[in-house]
Amino acid sequence: MSENSIPYKIYLNEHEMPIQWYNVRADMKHKPAPLLNPGTLQPMTEEELSGVFCSELAKQELDETTPYIDIPEEILKFYKMYRPSPLVRAYCLEEKLQTPAKIYYKFEGNNTSGSHKLNSAIAQAYYAKKQGLKGVTTETGAGQWGTALSMACSYFDLDCKVYMVKVSYEQKPFRREVMRTYGASVTPSPSETTEVGRKILAEFPGTTGSLGCAISEAVEAAVSTEGYRYVLGSVLNQVLLHQSVIGLETRAALDKYGIQPDMIIGCAGGGSNLGGLISPFMGEKLRGERDYQFIAVEPASCPSLTRGKYAYDFCDTGKVCPLAKMYTLGSGFIPSANHAGGLRYHGMSSVLSQLYDDGLMEARAVEQTAVFEAAEQFARIEGILPAPESSHAIRVAIDEALKCKESGEAKTIVFGLTGTGYFDMIAYEKFHNGDMSDYIPTDQELEPGFASLPNVE
Ligand SMILES: *Cc1c(COP(=O)(O)O)cnc(C)c1O
């Protein structure tokens, strides 16, 4: 079914859902740089990766030639509970902005976990179950990924151990309880339960943790427990592959109405929702069939694409993971404590990094008060209370629609609305109380992060 020669063809089932994921790497001339073994600095083999990840996922991670990969029946069955997700025309927003632009958003917040992360969580849990594993470990920052994975594991009756960044564990007790409702065990990170956690605690007593640190703990727990593997909710090639379901559905829905977008916008933390949303469209651009403007939106306080270096880096603080070549601020980078809007990972997906480096995608950095202004405006006009992460994309979609108003161009804008913000009301509260500031790191403040980069060409 997956002939490279057809321009594009999305196969849908009777529920109007794609039955294959699309692997954009197959159409990339410059492939993303391989993951390196941190010890030997040689590309990671499937066998090495299979010690950490489920075997099928290790295979997907390394597959840069197969354009379409069948979505297993069991995963399609789960997707059916909340997919296809709505592609909505933002009529009210267009009217309010008095723009000639047409604005569409793909809404991924229609499931209990509240974000797109469930699309990959269910795939990863499925492959773990199929391999006969007992359980999986992972990290979670704000908690969306942990929640999504808990739901997926409970569906397949797998054990789920979540290391949750301590500051979120304390500030977001409700997320924690949702995870426990789905049967996950949740440990605040750094913890005394792992060697790397104890080491970090000894070095930085009182630390409230970071994503990079929770990743190290989750990986250690996986490789040291029989029948467990580690799973990750963003950044990796396999996650972008699973998230391509977002872009495929968007493409299919637009096709149905004969709509051709000009511009596709998404927020970028590790790059999974944006990568998934743009993949099929990027494929068309890579194959020279059609052109699009793609815009990645990141926080000005954690600007990995707009101010980072394109270099090999550690994916985690404890330096236990393979090295990835990406736009990065360095694994030693820690965003300002005032930063409330998510998207705080120091690096970016290798696929998106390569596409950005090749000039196929743009990036913008936005300040958080402007993001929350857009969030509030969107909530009032379109009715949905957006996640702070998603609101980065809303900000730029509104900015672009306003530019169209000036120029009189009726562009068609599509953006990814990745989730809802019900668990982010502390951040909204800060905004409403005027306690939120726009911290932008100086070049000098970025230096220590860059100094933490390994010396690998
Ligand atoms: C995790 C998350 C993001 C950012 O992750 P990506 O991998 O960059 O997509 C964006 N929005 C929401 C709602 C999230 O939960």
Mean pLDDT of the region 374-394: 98
Per DSSP, the three-state class of 352 is helix
| Average pLDDT over the chain, rounded to an integer | 94
- Return the residue whose CA atom lies nearest to atom 13 of ligand 1: 419
Pocket of ligand 1 (CB under 6 A): 115, 117, 144, 234, 267-273, 343, 387, 389-390, 418-419
Tell me the CA–centroid distance for residue 454 and ligand 1, in Å.
27
Tell me the CA–centroid distance for residue 389 and ligand 1, in Å.
6
The per-residue pLDDT for 3 is: 45
Tell me the CA–centroid distance for residue 98 and ligand 1, in Å.
29
- Return the residue whose CA atom lies nearest to atom 10 of ligand 1: 389
Probe ligand 1: pick from 179, 240, 267, max atoms within 8 Å of CB? 267
Q: How many domains is the chain partitioned into structurally?
A: 2
The per-residue pLDDT for 87 is: 98
Assigned token pair, 318: 């404890």
Whether residues 122 and 247 share a domain: the answer is: no
Whether residues 341 and 396 share a domain: the answer is: yes
In order of 174, 234, 246, 312, 392, the CA distances from 28 in angstroms are: 42, 20, 19, 20, 27
Mean pLDDT of the region 339-362: 93
- Give the type of residue at 224: S
The 102-107 sheet, strands edge to edge: 87-89, 102-107, 412-417, 263-267, 293-299, 362-366
Please determine, for residue 69, whether its predicted confidence score (pLDDT) is greater than 80.
yes
Q: How far apart are CA 101 and CA 401, in angstroms?
A: 6
Whether residues 45 and 179 share a domain: the answer is: yes
Q: How far apart are CA 273 and CA 8, in angstroms?
A: 21
Whether residues 226 and 282 share a domain: the answer is: no
Please give the residue that has the higher pLDDT: either 130 or 337.
130
CB 256 within 8 A of CB 20: no
| CATH assignment of the domain containing 377 | 3.40.50.1100
C-alpha distance across the termini of the chain, in Å: 39
Please determine, for residue 83, whether its predicted confidence score (pLDDT) is greater than 70.
yes
Please, what's the b/e burial string for 181-213 (b: 16 or more CB within 10 A of its CB; e: otherwise)?
ebebebbbbbbeebebbeebbeeeeeebbbbbb
Whether residues 321 and 431 share a domain: the answer is: yes
Mean pLDDT of the region 209-232: 92
Mean pLDDT of the region 166-171: 89
Mean pLDDT of the region 364-392: 97
426 in any annotated domain = yes
Whether residues 91 and 128 share a domain: the answer is: no
Please give the residue that has the higher pLDDT: either 142 or 279.
279
Helices (H), 144-210: 144-155, 166-171, 173-181, 195-203
Please determine, for residue 391, whether its predicted confidence score (pLDDT) is greater than 50.
yes
The per-residue pLDDT for 7 is: 53
Mean pLDDT of the region 279-308: 97
Please determine, for residue 97, whether its predicted confidence score (pLDDT) is greater than 90.
yes
- Return the residue whose CA atom lies nearest to atom 5 of ligand 1: 269
Q: What percent of the chain has pLDDT over 70?
A: 98
Please determine, for residue 4, whether its predicted confidence score (pLDDT) is greater than 50.
no
The per-residue pLDDT for 210 is: 83
9 in any annotated domain = no
Whether residues 44 and 172 share a domain: the answer is: yes
Please determine, for residue 14, whether its predicted confidence score (pLDDT) is greater than 50.
yes
Please determine, for residue 1, whether its predicted confidence score (pLDDT) is greater than 50.
no
Mean pLDDT of the region 298-313: 97
Please determine, for residue 25, whether its predicted confidence score (pLDDT) is greater than 80.
yes
Q: What percent of the chain has pLDDT over 90?
A: 86
Range in 71-85, 202-216, 303-317 the model is least confident about = 202-216
Ligand 1 atom with minimal separation from the 234 CA: 7
Please give the residue that has the higher pLDDT: either 393 or 205.
393
Ligand 1 atom with minimal separation from the 141 CA: 1
Whether residues 58 and 43 share a domain: the answer is: yes
Helices (H), 287-367: 304-307, 350-357
Q: How far apart are CA 94 and CA 105, in angstroms?
A: 12
Ligand 1 atom with minimal separation from the 108 CA: 13
Whether residues 243 and 367 share a domain: the answer is: yes
Tens of pLDDT, residues 245-262: 999 999 999 999 999 999
Assigned token pair, 279: 């993949």
268 in any annotated domain = yes
What is the model's pTM? 0.96
Tell me the CA–centroid distance for residue 280 and ligand 1, in Å.
19
Whether residues 148 and 209 share a domain: the answer is: yes
Domain boundary among 208, 230, 252: 230
Domain boundary among 168, 200, 230: 230
77 in any annotated domain = no
Q: What are phi and psi of 217, to 5 degrees?
A: -65, -45
Q: pLDDT grade, residue 347 (50/70/90)?
A: very high
Residue 406: which domain range?
A: 87-114+238-451
10 in any annotated domain = no
312 in any annotated domain = yes
Tens of pLDDT, residues 181-193: 999 999 999 999 9
Q: How far apart are CA 128 and CA 148, in angstroms?
A: 15
The per-residue pLDDT for 290 is: 95
- Return the residue whose CA atom lies nearest to atom 2 of ligand 1: 389
Whether residues 200 and 328 share a domain: the answer is: no
Whether residues 431 and 376 share a domain: the answer is: yes
The per-residue pLDDT for 8 is: 65
